[in-house]
Amino acid sequence: MSRFFKIELRALRALLAICLAAGLVFALFSNERAQSEARSLALFETSTLSWKISELIFETQRLATGLDEYALGNIEKSDVELRFDLMWSRYAVAMESEATQSEKFQRVLVLVGAFLNEEEALLYNAPDISMADIDRISARLDELARMIRVTWVDVFAGRHEQDRLLTPSEQDRLADQNRAIMIALILLLMCYVLAEVYNASEGQRRERRLRQAAADANEAKSRFLANVSHEIRTPLNGILGMASELSATSLTEEQSKCLRVLEDSGGILLSTINDVLDLARVEAGQFDILIKPMVVRDVVEAALELYAPTAREKGLSLDLIIDDALPPFLKADIRRLRQVLHNLVANALKFTETGGVLVQVRLGVDTWTISVKDSGPGIPLEAQTRIFEPFGQADNSATRAHGGTGLGLTISRQICEAMGGTLTLESAPGEGACFLVSLPLKIASIDEISQKQAKPKSPPDLSSLTLLVADDNDTNRTIIGRFLAATGARVDYADTGLAALDAAKAKRFDIILMDIQMPEMDGVAASQAIRAFQAGAGQARSHIIAVTANVLPHQVEEYIAADMDEVLPKPVSKPALMALLDGLSPAKAA
Amino acid sequence: MISRVFCFVAFLSVVLAAPLHALEAPKNTPVLTVSGAISTSNTNGAAVFDRDMLRALDWRQVTTYTSFTEGAQDFAGPTLASLLKALGVEGGTLRATAVNDYTITIPVEHAERHDVILAMEHNGQTMRLRDKGPIWVVYPLSESQAARRPFDGEMVWQLVRIEVVE
């Protein structure tokens, strides 16, 4: 609401500024007009003044010559009177003019007036004029004419503005008013512009601050992810690894049961943690998809296989139908696909009491689909969007029958969308639920598949090789050691990067399993140091494998840049380790 | 053909010449000379008026404001319209000339439209040359009208001649 108000205010201010600008333009125009009017008026006044003065001089001269003519007897007294009257009229007009109110003009006009008044009796009223008077008056007239001309030249040639001042104060006042208004308007406009500029820069600063804060938050999240990843998975690695080792030994019925519970719980814990971290990764934009060729039937069957016991226990059927028309080899992110399938099947089984779950894999147009249909209670419409939201459950009450973090469907949908597909739901209460995964059809070639097919059945024979296991965690070292026992390799251990470096300097290892996060010197630095040493000593390169939970692309790049050869993700699974080492066994290498 | 035109012109001049001598000659000092397209004359095709002849026309008295004077002024004189009527002038323009050869053009319709007066007395006094006499062409105006100076050019003083142009 306040934001709306602010926008309104801003619009209002802008409107006001525009009005001010318009007012300013108008004021400028009217000022211009007034000024040009004043100028033309001044010009007019100047020229009329010139005319009036020149007329006065002219009539003064005419009277003088008239007197001469009269003396010669060429004209009558009445003509002289006429000229006298004319001169007087010119004097009267000149006196009336505002322009002659200046001191200079007044001085000479007063003299003219005095002359006229004094000589009127003689020139105008008397019957005739004596020669002596004629001479006297002529001389006076010449003098007057000269004085008027001098004054005129003085005023106009000298361009004395104040003598030519003619506009009344009224115009001045208006001009001043106008100017004051214009200045006020300009100042207001400047204030407005400055205010807006300041506002804009404030806005920019704020935006930068917010952006920085967001970037910082994101960074903090990523760091948290990396830390949590490591801190949680390491002990989990221990639990699961040891559990799997234990299961390989001979156990009593009682012990087997306990172990199963241990493994299940560990598995659930791992998957829950993975879900949470996945979600965090998605939000931090660090979700990546690894598209690999796969055999569709194998992947789907294996995923379902995991839940066969659960279905049996609940008395539910779990069936799989794969469309014949579907190409056998496709490309997808196998791990993620498995994740989605596990989630959907687990949900289906969890929420169904009677009947069963049917999984169908079909071919679409440029797509292929997996549908998971259950005969459970179904999902009401209003819950159908909610369950896809993070932590959203169909039943949000505290007494809900089924547990779960509520992240499974969220992540499943993210995974499907990240692979370029969709995850949709069709359901109604009482009619069960059908989740449909639709993925883009990417057909894999035979060659790509055959590359994958080579699966090690037995542990590789590494009896001729020396191996170094560097990990700061005792449990991890133990686990890997036990995994490696079957290979027959000669294994040494180091608990820090520095120890690994010392060991490598003392003895050349064929393979080094290097943990990354170690105190004193981390795996990356140790690898670089070992490489440098080996290069310097002319030693054959060791095969350095980075063993870490941090397998984001930029991190993998870091390891490769440090001249490490491979990456083995943590928690370390025995099959993965065996598969990797299988590629390095002398038999294969040869 | 030519003889026909000649006859027509002769007839016209007889017809037109007759009224041209209807105006009496001035007895005193001539004050105003009107020439040009007029229907009557008394001296060489022009109509010369003295003070009495002008007095005999439609003599009016007005109180008015001018842009050359301060405050209300009384003027008395014949209306320009009556002068033009006496001379049979109904349209065209007048070229009014003052004693110093200042000349201005006045449209004939101004006479009726603006009640133009040929002022000869100012505030009861006969106007001498020095008083802008003998004739000042006065357009009666209100004070605010006068302030705008609408007829500064037409209000010629020391008027001596009028030439009527078609």
Contact (Cβ atoms closer than 8 angstroms) between residue A391 and residue A407: yes
pLDDT for B135: 95
What whole-number percentage of chain B has pLDDT above 70? 87
Distance, in Å, from the CA atom of A292 to the CA atom of B138, rounded to the nearest integer, reads 112
DSSP β-ladder status, A433-440 and A367-374: antiparallel
pLDDT for B110: 92
B129 closest CB neighbour out of A58, A82, A96: A82
Residues 6+ apart with CB under 8 A from A508: A466, A534, A539, A540, A542
User: How long is chain A?
Assistant: 590
Is A360 exposed, middle or buried, given 0-12, 13-18 or 19+ CB atoms closer than 10 A?
A: middle
pLDDT for A171: 65
Mean pLDDT for B109-133 is 92
B126 or A11: which carries more pLDDT confidence?
Answer: B126
Interchain CB distance below 8 Å, B129 and A96: no
Cβ pairs A/B, distance under 8 A:
25
- Residue A330, beta-bridge partner list: A294, A443
pLDDT for B2: 65
Q: How far is CA A153 from CA A62, A92, A113, A163, B72, in A?
A: 20, 21, 20, 12, 36
Contact (Cβ atoms closer than 8 angstroms) between residue B142 and residue B150: no
Contact (Cβ atoms closer than 8 angstroms) between residue A558 and residue A517: no
Interchain CB distance below 8 Å, B130 and A55: no
- In the block, residue with structure tokens 């992110």: A333
pLDDT for A402: 65
Is A342 exposed, middle or buried, given 0-12, 13-18 or 19+ CB atoms closer than 10 A?
A: middle
pLDDT for A60: 93
Contact (Cβ atoms closer than 8 angstroms) between residue A77 and residue A43: no
Distance, in Å, from the CA atom of A182 to the CA atom of A174, rounded to the nearest integer, reads 12
Interchain CB distance below 8 Å, A86 and B131: no
To which H or E segment does residue A361 belong?
strand A356-363
Nearest Cα neighbor of A563 from A577, A586, A545 is A545
E strands, A441-533, in order:
466-470, 490-494, 511-515
Look up residue A29 and give its two tokens.
Answer: 């125009």
pLDDT for B19: 46
pLDDT for B1: 62
pLDDT for A460: 77
* Nearest chain B residue to A82, by CA: B129
Please report residues of B whose CB lies closer than 8 A to that of A59: 100
Distance, in Å, from the CA atom of A359 to the CA atom of A322, rounded to the nearest integer, reads 8
- Dihedrals φ, ψ of B133, to 5°? -80, -175
Mutation target among A85, A95, A98, A101 for the B interface, most CBs of B within 10 A:
A85
Q: How far is CA A213 from CA A217, A219, A279, in A?
A: 6, 10, 21
- In the block, residue with structure tokens 């579907």: A326
Q: Which of A452-456, A482-486, B23-27, B99-103 has the lowest mean pLDDT?
A: A452-456
* Nearest chain A residue to B29, by CA: A78
Total Cβ atoms within 10 A of residue A451: 10
Please report residues of B whose CB lies closer than 8 A to that of A82: 129
Q: How far is CA A465 from CA A460, A476, A488, in A?
A: 11, 21, 8
- Dihedrals φ, ψ of B162, to 5°? -130, 130
- In the block, residue with structure tokens 């404001």: B65
Q: How far is B129 from chain A (nearest CA, A)?
A: 5
Please report residues of A whose CB lies closer than 8 A to that of B68: 96
Interchain CB distance below 8 Å, A82 and B128: no
Q: How far is A77 from chain B (nearest CA, A)?
A: 15
To which H or E segment does residue A532 belong?
helix A523-537
pLDDT for B10: 56
Distance, in Å, from the CA atom of A236 to the CA atom of B55, rounded to the nearest integer, reads 136
Q: How far is A82 from chain B (nearest CA, A)?
A: 8
- Residue B117, beta-bridge partner list: B79, B138
Q: How far is B66 from chain A (nearest CA, A)?
A: 13
Crossing angle for the helix pair A334-351 and A296-305, to the nearest 10 degrees: 40
Contact with chain A for residue B121, Cβ under 8 A = no
Of the CA atoms within 13 Å of residue A532, those in its CB half-sphere come to 9
Q: Which of A89-98, A455-464, B67-76, B123-132 has the lowest mean pLDDT?
A: A455-464
ipTM: 0.78
Residues 6+ apart with CB under 8 A from A57: A145, A148, A149, A152
Contact with chain A for residue B115, Cβ under 8 A = no
For chain A, 590 residues long, give each residue's pLDDT as a single digit of tens. 677 777 788 888 888 888 888 888 888 888 888 888 888 887 887 788 888 889 999 999 999 999 999 989 899 888 899 899 999 999 998 888 877 777 888 889 999 999 999 988 888 788 888 888 889 999 999 999 999 988 888 877 765 555 445 445 566 777 788 788 888 888 988 988 898 899 899 999 999 999 999 888 877 877 777 777 778 888 888 888 888 888 888 889 898 888 888 888 888 788 777 777 777 776 666 667 778 888 888 888 888 888 888 888 889 999 999 988 888 888 888 888 888 998 899 889 988 888 999 999 999 888 999 999 999 888 888 888 888 887 777 666 655 666 666 778 888 888 888 888 999 999 988 888 999 999 998 888 777 766 665 555 677 777 888 999 999 988 889 888 888 888 888 899 999 999 999 999 998 898 999 999 888 888 899 999 999 998 888 888 888 999 988 877 788 888 888 888 888 888 787 878 888 888 777 765 44
Residues 6+ apart with CB under 8 A from A28: A182
Look up residue B114 and give its two tokens.
Answer: 């603006």
* Nearest chain B residue to A83, by CA: B129
**Torsion (CA) A560, A566, A570, A576 in degrees, nearest 10:** 160
Contact (Cβ atoms closer than 8 angstroms) between residue A432 and residue A418: no
pLDDT for A454: 57
Distance, in Å, from the CA atom of A389 to the CA atom of A406, rounded to the nearest integer, reads 8
Please report residues of A whose CB lies closer than 8 A to that of B157: 89
Distance, in Å, from the CA atom of A92 to the CA atom of A95, rounded to the nearest integer, reads 5
pLDDT for A163: 45
Mean pLDDT for B107-129 is 93
Please report residues of A whose CB lies closer than 8 A to that of B158: 86, 89
